[in-house]
Structures are given as C-alpha cells and as structure tokens.
Amino acid sequence: MSGQSQPSRPEEPARELAREPDRAAQHAGRALPAVTEGEAGARVLTRRAPGMADVAQLAGVSHQTVSRVLNDHPNVREQTRLRVRAAMEQLGYRPNRAARALVTGRSQTVGIVAQNTALYGPTSVLTAVERVVSRAGFAVGVASVPVLDRISIADAVARLLDQHVAGIVVIAPVVSANEALDDVPDDLPMAVIDGDPGRPARLVTVDQQLGARLATRCLLAAGHETVWHVSGPPDWFDSAERVLGWRQALVDAGAEVPPVLAADWSLGAGFEAGQLLARMPEARAVFAANDHLALGIMKALRQAGLSVPEDVSVVGFDDIPEAGYVSPPLTTVRPDFEAVAEQAVRLLLAQLDDPSPGGLPRVAPIPPRLVERESVAPPGRAAPRRRTGVARRSAGR
Amino acid sequence: MSGQSQPSRPEEPARELAREPDRAAQHAGRALPAVTEGEAGARVLTRRAPGMADVAQLAGVSHQTVSRVLNDHPNVREQTRLRVRAAMEQLGYRPNRAARALVTGRSQTVGIVAQNTALYGPTSVLTAVERVVSRAGFAVGVASVPVLDRISIADAVARLLDQHVAGIVVIAPVVSANEALDDVPDDLPMAVIDGDPGRPARLVTVDQQLGARLATRCLLAAGHETVWHVSGPPDWFDSAERVLGWRQALVDAGAEVPPVLAADWSLGAGFEAGQLLARMPEARAVFAANDHLALGIMKALRQAGLSVPEDVSVVGFDDIPEAGYVSPPLTTVRPDFEAVAEQAVRLLLAQLDDPSPGGLPRVAPIPPRLVERESVAPPGRAAPRRRTGVARRSAGR
DNA sequence: GGGGGTAGAGTGAGCGTTAACATGTCGGGG
DNA sequence: CCCCGACATGTTAACGCTCACTCTACCCCC
C-alpha cells in the first residue's frame, strides 16, 4: 500500500496508515531540527526535538537566558527576549516538562481525584474541572477511583504524587472520601469539591441547603401543607445537606415534618420510593434529592394511576438535560457546576501562588437556582384526572 | 489554633487545617527518610523523597542494580532482587516518573483527547477509557478541547506530547476531528475511538450500522410499513453510519425510504423534529439517532395529542440511564462503551509493546444490542387514545 | 574618580533515572 | 591451563532543565 518510494529512513519504516508521511511529520508539534534535506549520503534526518541549547545557540545567548525568557524573569533585555522568542519560534521549540519537573520537583499538572461513576452531578463537575484546569494552562491528570473509600483515595493521591502534580482537586462527596483527605500531605495544594461542609477549609460546594429550601418552599408556596422528601444515600454530604435544608424550610413554615424516605441516587430507588408514596394519599408534594429519583418516582406514580402534578407535585435536583423534556417537564434545582469548578481551581491556584499556609482559604457555597417547569401544581386531588401532555400550565406559585 | 507546641520545622509552619500533622505526613505515600528523631540539635527532618541512591546504599548495591530490579531485567540474582525489594519497601521508595520520562523520552502516561461536552455517548466513553487506562497501570492525562476542529485537536495533541505521553486515545466522532489525526506523528502510538469507519486503522467503534438496523428492523417487525429517521448532525460519523444502517434495513425489507429529518443531538432539536412528525399522519414509526432526540420527539408528540407507542412508535439509541424510566420506557440500542474503551486501550498497548509499524492493527466494530421496552407497538391509529401510564404492555415484535 | 549597587548575561552543578559500556566472576571446552 | 562466553554487577555519561553563583559593564553618587 505504501506506494511512494522515498529516501528510506532506517529507524522508521513507512507505515500503511501514513498517507502523506512528511507533511504529517512537519505538523507534529515538535519540529524536526536540521533537516537540511539533500545533503546526499549524510544522515538526512537528525530527529531530535530542539532543546534549550539549540535555541540558545541560534539566538546567540546562553541556555540560561533562554530559561529566563521562558519563565518571564525580569532581568532580560527586551531585545534579547525578542531574539530568543524568535529562535524558539523558528525551531518550534517546546520546553520539556519532564526535565523541568525533575529539577523543580513539581510539574505544571493538576491532578483530579474523582469517583468513576455515571452519576450526573459528579461527572458534570469532573468535566467542568478538566475544562477549567486546562484553560488555566495546566496539564490535567486524572486518577479515578472505583469506590470512594479511604484506601482507594489514598492510592489515587499517591499515583498523582508520583506524577509530581502541583496540586490536586478532589471530588469527595461522601464521608469516607473526606476522611481520606486527612492522609494527604498538608503541604500539597488542594481543593475539595463537595466535601464535608463542617470542614470548610479549601472546600467548594454548592449551597445544598439553599437548594433544598428553594425546592421545598416552591412546593409549599403552591399551597401544599407539607412536603415529603426522598433522600439520597445517607453517607453523601449532598444528601444530608438537602435533608437539612428541606427540614428547615418545613420548620420555618410551621409545617409538619414527615419521615424521610431514604434511597440512593438511582432511578430504580426512586421508583421504589414512588411506589411507597403512591399508597399514601396524604403525600401530595415530594422533593426528590435528585432528578433521577424524581423520574423514578414519577414513573411509579404514573403506574399507580396518579398523575403529576395534578395528584402529586414533584421537584427534583440537578437539572439534568432531560429534565425539561420528560412528561411533565420537571421543576428542579440547578447547581452551577461550572462555577464550582471555577472556584475550586481559583482556590488551588491561590495556594500555588502563595504557599504560605496562613489562613485557610474558604469560599462561600455556590447558590443554585430553582428552575420552574410543570411538575408542581396546587393540591387538588378532587379534580378529575386529566389526559396526557397537551395542555400547558405554568408551575404553581 | 494550632495549639500543639512541637519542635518547630522552619520550612513548614504548622497549618490550621492539619489536625494531626505527623500522622498525616506518615501516610503521605512518600515516606520521610532518615527521620531518626531525637538526635538533638541536628536537623530533625531530612525531608526528601528517597531516590535510587538511597535504596542502593541500603541494599548494598549500585543504583543501576536497583534500576534493573525496578524494570524487571533478567540478569539479577534472585537474592539481590529480594534485598533491593526489601530496601525499597523499607524506605517507601517510589520511582520518580519525571526522571524516567526525561531519560527515556516517554512516560507511563496515556493521553486522552476528547471534546468537552455533556453528550452522553462521548462522556461515557471518556470515563470508560479513563477507568481502563488507569487499571492498566498508566497515568491518565486528559486534554479536552472546546470544539473538535483541526487546530484545537492539534493543540491538544501537542500539549499531550509535551507531557511525553506514551500514547494517545482520541475520541474523534466528527470529520474535522478525524482530519486532524493526519497531523499526529505517525510514530506515536494511538487509538482512535468513533472515527471514520472508512479509515479503520487503529480505530475502535461501535457498530453503528448494526445498531441502526436493529432499531429499524424492530420497528418493521412490529408491523410498520416504513420507519422515519431523525438523524444527528451530518458531520458526525455516528450519525452518518446510523443513517446508512437505517436505510439499509429499509431497503432490505423492501420498504419505502422516507426523507431524513436532520437534527443535532439535542433534546430541543428532537422536539422540533417531533413537531414536524406530528403533522405527518403517515409517520407512525420513528428511529431517533439518540435517546435525547427520542425524548424530544416524544414530548412534541405528546403535546400534539399523540401518544407513544399507540399512535407513533419510537426507538432511540444510547440507552441513557433515564431511558427505562421515562413514559413510556424507551426501546433503544445500547452500545457497550466499556468494551470500546477496553479495545482501544488494548490496541494502544499492542503498539506500545511492539513498535513495529507493520500491519495496521484493526479491530472489529463492537456490536450494540437492542433493549426492548415499551415505546414500540404495532400501528393502530384507529384505536382510541388511551390514558397515561398505568397499563403495561410488552414491546411489539 | 573610585566604591558600590544593579541590570543583564554566563557558568557549572545537580535533579533521579536509564543506556551503554566496563568490570569481575564463574564454569566449561579446547 | 587458558581463553571465552554467560551472567551478575558496577561505572560513567547523558537527558533538558533550573538554581545558585559568578562575571561584566554601566551608572549613580559622594
């Protein structure tokens, strides 16, 4: 297949895949120095990425000056700086991170520790953090753990440490994960996302309580006497906080506080909770700890012949993309994952710039907002069950 | 707040966060060598991670022998090997990846290039790849790009190259991304996921055509005369392949091929396509290119007073977690992302072990499977519209 | 006009590892 | 008995960079 006959390169036989080998090589990021093709006989390719020495030679300075330019040291004449920059450009020079990491003991890499899960919230946060970190000019190293227990996390952190990360971002939404944080060396810059609100140092979270209060109050405002709650797993901070917020809102309104229906985050658990709820005529308003639960609940309700929001009002949490497109469109609480990621990285960068440990950096919880759609209505069990879909109605208020 | 008075460590003032500083340090992965506490006066902490030299000294061998043990070189006496291993253990030695990368020019890191998106498919693949790569003992570097165009990808690859990755996995589901692949140096081990099926070298994909055929045939088998298709964006391979598979199934069955309704992957686009579909009485069966489109379509249908599956049958693609919990539960095609990731990493590792470029490694497309739920039924517009939910019925066949 | 500060540059020594080569030590065959 | 190859180990030199110095002008000021 590789039909072109070219000057054979001994160390690199032609590959079938390569359609236009030389162009490919040219574009490769690390340019080929001293190609000087045509010098018959002599080795045509001196394949080796250019180093500081090469740049220095071309610019007529010492390698140290090149280093200074690279690191924006002040004591370099503008003219020299330009000359070096030009030489870099010409050679397609790229600094060798490994060498730098070796000597400084720290790389321009940020490590992220996260559970490997399909859960919408954590995944959204993860990708947001990736995005923000690389936007900030850092390389991204990910260490995902199968479960968020102490040893897995310690292990992940160790792996990251091996990579000589400059700092880490840990997504630690459960208590066991948070405990593992005690084990990380305290001189390693770190930002914790979704950790224990009781330990606010270096922590960034969504204001879960506020979100839960918003959701609960929305239901109360629609005229419901009280609001039931289907919670997430008890060892999740998000879960506990949402319970707290929900209860608070109820207490504030002088409403009765029904027992919590504990579940995990899954659709299936929501479905089961929904089956329970369906048998309790007094349960007319439900705040589900996340949208998946809400969807599961709604399915169970539907199967039991109950309709949402006429018979039962439901509010979720997360605002998954599907939320506006299910039937009925789900009223829910939308956390700002992007902002969380942004704050976390900011927190980390602050520690990087200023290694002084004085004063634990803290940031305020990020307030979520309520997205009102059509899964909330005033109580009115007496009203006839309606047909599906067609009619539109705005959310109760 | 830091109430304990300890021998002060000049280079590391106590931090408020640290509750039990010394334990934390102990657990830190990189143990502290030569602590020898008590040697009054002399510096108590020689904080520096142990290197090969330290291990070598303790084991009474040269650093090179340590290196040999580390890399499982054959010519080391068993006894020596054990002694070195013990020394490593005792010192808590961890090899310095940066140094190794510097000298070998290649790190034990796999880079992943992926678009930073909320799309279910690509995201699932990404996390699956992360998982598999780190399970294989490699560090994971992620370079996410905002858009999948040529320069962004070239840039991402360059960033990864800077990290001296051993190889890369690229998730390149659109044509522009695939073109960018020409620019990567052909001696860099690579695996492409979801790329151009027309260029099968080093490519791993889901068998999109098969999936589409499965979906279409399922609808046909339910008794529908033909099947409409709402497609994804035209520049996505997934999209094009699914169109092909759908058309093929129709042609095979001798059915009429209706025009394609082009959309993107979003719920919103599905909704719009659904509004179109709702006005066409002859459209009784729809294959949506993904589940989000299907959800959007179903919402539009519902709003138009049509019910699924009585009036219109719908099949999706992806099997998002919500698929079984919407109303009606969605029949859909489930790709095996885990298998895709597994194959991709296998492909990459093969290239790592055997740098010989001979013979492009290829792997067969991974067959997806149809998950039948309740959004498909035989045509029967004549039947009265039914109420919501309650009744159960198995999918048509 | 000479001392000293300072901007701008250079020199050399590592950082921790691997690769290439050198050394030493056996055992066996000629 | 000696030489040679195999095995086991040690020695030395990079790898590409930063850090801590040194060096040279040059200018300011007394």
Q: How far apart are CA B143 and CA A141, in angstroms?
A: 9
Looking at residue B103, what DSSP letter applies? H
Query: Looking at residue A178, what is its pLDDT?
Result: 87
- In this structure, is the dihedral angle defined by the CA atoms of residues A76, A80, A84 and A86, taken in order, positive or negative? positive
Window B:84-143, CB contacts with A under 8 Å? 94-99, 101-102, 107, 109, 116-118, 123-124, 127, 130-131, 134, 139-143
- Asked if A33 CB < 7 A from strand D, the reply is no
User: What does the pLDDT average to over A143-165?
Assistant: 89
pLDDT value for A381: 53
**Helix A52-59 × helix A63-70 angle, to 10°:** 100
- Interchain CB distance below 8 Å, B16 and A107: no
Q: What is the pLDDT of residues A18-66, one digit of tens each?
A: 233 333 333 333 333 333 333 333 333 445 789 999 999 999 999 999 9
User: Would you call A257 an interface residue with chain B, using a CB distance cutoff of 8 Å?
Assistant: no
- Give me A337's structure tokens: 């994952």
CA–CA distance, A21 with A33 (Å, rounded to integer): 17
Whether residue A3 is predicted with pLDDT greater than 50 in this model: the reply is: no
Q: Which of A15, A295, A390 sits opposite B186 (nearest CB)?
A: A15
Q: What pLDDT is attached to residue B137?
A: 85
Strands A369-371 and A332-334: antiparallel
Comparison of pLDDT for B396 and A262, the residue scoring more: A262
Helix (H, G, I), strand (E, B) or coil at B309: coil
Q: Which helix (H) or strand (E) holds B191?
A: strand B190-193
Lowest model confidence (mean pLDDT) among A272-281, B12-21, B307-316, B325-334:
B12-21
- The answer to whether residue B292 scores a pLDDT higher than 60 is yes
Q: Is the pLDDT of residue A4 over 60?
A: no
Across A89-113, b (16+ Cβ under 10 Å) vs e yields eebbbbbbbbbbbbeeebbbbbbbb
Q: From the CA of A60, how many Å to the nearest CA of chain B?
A: 25
pLDDT at A389 over 70: no
Across B118-127, B218-227, B297-306, least confident range:
B118-127
The answer to whether B62 CB is within 7 Å of strand C is: no
Residue A253 scores a pLDDT above 90? yes
Q: Is A270's Cβ below 8 Å from some Cβ in B?
A: yes
* Amino acid B207: pLDDT: 97
Per-residue pLDDT tens over the stretch A230-239: 999 999 999 9
Residue A386 Cα distances to A277, A283, B389, angstroms: 20, 19, 12
Quick check: A6 contacting B, CB < 8 Å?
A: no
Q: How many CB atoms lie within 10 A of CB B44?
A: 16
Instruction: Report which residue type is found at A116.
Output: N
Number of helices followed by number of strands (H, E) in chain B: 13, 11
Residue B131: partners with Cβ closer than 8 Å, 6 or more residues away: A116, A144, A146, B341
Q: What is the pLDDT of residue B359?
A: 60
Buried b (16+ CB within 10 A) or exposed e, A11-27: ebebbebbeebeebbeb
pLDDT value at position A359? 60
Contact B17 A201 (CB under 8 A): yes
**Per-residue pLDDT at A158:** 87
Among all protein residues, pick the one whose CA is nearest to the C1' atom of C14. Answer: A103
pLDDT tens, residue by residue, A197-244: 999 889 999 999 999 999 999 999 999 999 999 999 999 999 999 999
Task: Show the tokens assigned to B166.
Answer: 């051993």
What DSSP string runs through A104-150?
HS--SEEEEEEE----HHHHHHHHHHHHHHHHTT-EEEEEEESS--H
According to DSSP, residue A289 is labeled: S
Tell me A251's DSSP state.
Answer: H
Beta carbons of A49 and A70 less than 8 angstroms apart: no
Buried b (16+ CB within 10 A) or exposed e, B123-147: bbbbbbbbbbbbeeebbbbbbbbee
- Best of B110, B153, B295, B388 to mutate (most A CBs within 10 Å, chain A): B388
Find the Å distance, CA of residue B74 to C1' of nucleotide C29: 26
Mean pLDDT of B312-331: 96
Domains in chain B, CATH or no CATH each: 21-95 (1.10.260.40), 107-206+338-366 (3.40.50.2300), 209-335 (3.40.50.2300)
Task: Identify the weakest region by mean pLDDT among A76-90, A354-368, B147-161.
Answer: A354-368
Q: What is the pLDDT of residue B358?
A: 56
At residue A25, the pLDDT reads 34
Q: How far apart are CA A73 and CA B387, in angstroms?
A: 73
Q: What mean pLDDT value characterizes chain A?
A: 84
Q: Strand pairing partners for B109?
A: B139
Spatial strand order of the sheet with B167-171 comes to: A203-204, A190-193, A167-171, A109-115, A139-145, B139-145, B109-115, B167-171, B190-193, B203-204
Least confident of A5-19, B189-203, B240-254, B335-349: A5-19
Angle between helices B63-70 and B52-59 (to 10 degrees): 100
pLDDT at A387: 36
Q: From residues 82-111 of A, which are strand C contacts by CB within 7 A?
A: 99, 102-103
Q: What are the C-alpha distances in Å from B310 to residues A19, A215, B71, B289, B303? A: 52, 35, 65, 21, 15
Nearest to B15 among A20, A164, A357 (CB): A357
Q: Given an 8 Å threshold on Cβ–Cβ distance, is B325 in contact with A16?
A: no
Structure tokens at A17: 């895949």
In window 91-120 of A, residues with CB < 7 A from nucleic chain D are 95-96, 99-100, 102-104
Three-class DSSP category at A333: strand
Whether the pLDDT of residue B385 is over 50: the answer is: no
The better pLDDT of the pair A367, B145 is held by A367
Nearest to A341 by CA among A310, A309, A363: A363
Average pLDDT over residues B131-151: 89
Concatenated DSSP letters for B43-100?
-S-------HHHHHHHHTS-HHHHHHHHTT-S-S-HHHHHHHHHHHHHHT----HHHH
Residue B245 predicted with pLDDT over 60: yes
Question: pLDDT above 70 covers what percent of chain A?
Answer: 82
